[in-house]
Amino acid sequence: MADASPRERRAAVRVIFLGPPGAGKGTQAARLAAHLGVPKVGTGEMLRDAIAKETPLGNKAHPYMEAGNLVPDDLLVALVRERIAEPDCARGFVLDGFPRTLPQAKGLEEMTGGDAHAWVVFRFEVPRDELMRRLSGRRWCPRCQATYHVVNDPPKRKGICDVCGTALVQREDDRESVVAHRLQEYEERTRPLIEYYRTRARMLAIDGNRSKDEVFRDLLHALEVPA
In the set 14, 25, 123, 134, the catalytic residue is 25
Residue 171 bears catalytic tag: yes
Task: Give the integer Cα–Cα distance in Å for 87 and 186.
Answer: 32
Residue 25 bears catalytic tag: yes
Cβ neighbours for 135, distance < 8 A, ≥ 6 positions apart: 21, 22, 174, 179, 182
Span interacting with Zn ion, options 126-134, 154-162, 177-185, 219-227, rule CB under 5 A: 154-162
Residue 138 bears catalytic tag: yes
Q: Is 141 in the site for Zn ion (CB under 5 A)?
A: yes
Residue 198 bears catalytic tag: no
- The helix/strand/coil state of 47 is helix
Element (H, E) at 42: strand 40-42
Task: Give the integer Cα–Cα distance in Å for 109 and 99.
Answer: 10
* Nearest C-alpha neighbor of 77 from the set 28, 43, 39, 29: 43
Longest Cα pair distance anywhere in the chain, in angstroms?
Answer: 54
Q: Is 161 in the site for Zn ion (CB under 5 A)?
A: yes
User: Which of 146, 223 has the CB closer to Zn ion?
Assistant: 146
Contacting residue, 52, 67, 163, 225, with Zn ion by CB under 5 A? 163
146: phi then psi, degrees, rounded to nearest 5: -65, 150
Q: Is 166 in the site for Zn ion (CB under 5 A)?
A: yes
In the set 14, 40, 83, 100, the catalytic residue is 100
Span interacting with Zn ion, options 58-66, 131-139, 162-170, 213-221, rule CB under 5 A: 162-170
Residue 128 bears catalytic tag: no
Residue ranges that bind Zn ion, judged by CB under 5 A: 141, 143-144, 146, 161, 163-164, 166
- Which residues belong to the active site? 25, 100, 138, 171, 182
